[in-house]
A = this chain, B = another copy of it.
Amino acid sequence: NFVYVHLNRVIRERDLDVIYVTGPGHGGPGLVANTYLEGTYSELYPSIGQNADGLRRLFKQFSFPGGIPSHTAPETPGSINEGGELGYSLAHAYGAAFDNPDLLVACVIGDGEAETGALAASWHSNKFLAPARDGAVLPILHLNGYKIANPTVLGRMDDDELSQLLTGYGYTPYFVEGREPAALHQLMAATLDEVVDEIHAIQHDARARRSTGRPVWPLIVLRTPKGWTGPKEVDGKPVEDTWRAHQVPLSELATKPEHLRQLEEWMRSYRPEELFDAEGKLVTELADLAPRGARRMGANPHANGGLLLRDLALPDFRDYALPIAAPGARAAESTRVLGTFLRDVFALNETAQNFRLFGPDETESNRLTAVYEATDKVFLERILPTDEHLSPNGRVMEILSEQICQGWLEGYLLTGRHGLFSCYEAFIHVIDSMFNQHAKWLKSSRNIPWRRPIASLNYLLTSHVWRQDHNGFSHQDPGFIDHVVNKKADIVRVYLPPDANTLLSVADHCLRTRNYVNVIVAGKHPSPQWLDMPAA
């Protein structure tokens, strides 16, 4: 809430284009409450109006079977991040910022969440974000000190060590710390002004070509007590500023009148009678503080990417066909042929800037090499004369983390763009759980009328089991298909094109589909070619 209203202020003051990504466990209510207050919630869910009855329904559905989850989810206006499985907020935020030069993605990261592998690796995404072409990510690391039942690793580090860590990740940390609301509001407001200025200065320099290379981006460390402004003590035990604030702080209300009393006191401490009018509507004076229309973070079209989605311009895949005199008469590397098609996908969508290829350092190994005739690999670090195909403007993204590739791609797709993830078949299991959650997102979105269809998540799996005998057992695993087909066919599609022409036709098809996860398994080694294009 604190962060949201402060962002609202800078959005209004500077007419900024901002979306809000929030990672921490069960942090859904913050976004639900704020999108309700700014009006978006009632526009999207008319049954939850801005009145007492609407409020009652809003409270009742929360974290309740058949209602809405306790974390951000597809149901949450303005969200591109499912907060259920922790760890992906920052990668999603970067995915959203790529190719959106005017977008600022504010990303709240839980200190618990920050212990996950995916999050720990995501910090380095700043090495792949080009300030001249891409938008900005403002990470807000929320150190409330606790996760479910434990202090957090980052929360217990002292400011010095933490500052070194974040500086080492390539950011300038700004500390916003305290427990005195009024003072903290002032500090947060001043800090936000400062970091937004800094972000604009970086972008300005890069776009005026006054600087090249990787800038040091600002980052906010927000250190507040967990359960801030909630009950300080319950049953004689401290709650605020301890892990006990994670769970429902006051439970068994039906049998414990003391808890009920404390709850009432706590709720009344926010002085609802000054905030809402007699009908249960937010008073105009406060409602007016929110940005207008699509500037409201709950209504920003980037967070409902289908609204912005444009079809990819695709070359005719038949033009890339391998001539086949007779089935099996010649051999070829199927993925190499696909590379020529993808090269021209890049070229045709050069102005639209809405297609990227992702992979854990395997694009070349997977023989998609032709793409480098149309684009480079993006890299913001120092580039040496011996390097090839590297530049800050590349559209191929290679980091040795299947999790980050997946997270970036999800963020990119959810904000209305297109992409393909190429990976060794054996190691795609690293993102089994992320695939699961994205498939669930797609499934839930189908039932949410205001969520518009987005481009499918396309996997190209090569180096498949049959051709990894030299690398040994660890590199052999066809099990991802089994994992994927656990989901229903209305969400997942699996393709096993046996040769180059079939692969071309399949890839063309997949890039046109919406709301699926498409898994294409194809060989990269020279192997017999069977079908000519009409047959394929």
Contact = CB atoms under 8 A, between A and B. Distances in A.
Number of copies: 2
A85 B426 contact: yes
Contact of A147 (B400, B403, B429, B444): B400
A444 to B, nearest CB: 6
A379 interface: yes
Interface in A255-291: none
A84 B474 contact: yes
Interface string A322-365: 00000000000000000000000000000000000000011111
Given A121-B115, A165-B169, A483 B472 contact: no
Contact of A63 (B82, B86, B471): B471
Interface string A40-66: 000000000000000000000001111
Contact of A436 (B147, B149, B477): B477
Contacts of A489: none
A488 to B, nearest CB: 13
Contact of A470 (B64, B398, B475, B483): B64
Interface in A178-196: none
Interface in A183-221: none
Most buried by B among A118, A361, A477: A361
A404 B113 contact: no
The 7 closest A-B pairs by CB, nearest first: A84-B474, A165-B168, A69-B472, A117-B117, A429-B433, A164-B168, A156-B381
Interface of A: 63-66, 68-71, 73, 82-87, 112-113, 115-121, 123-124, 127, 147-153, 156-157, 161-170, 238, 241-242, 361-365, 377, 379, 381-382, 384, 386-387, 390, 398-404, 426-427, 429-430, 432-433, 436-437, 440, 443-444, 469-475, 477, 479, 482-483, 486
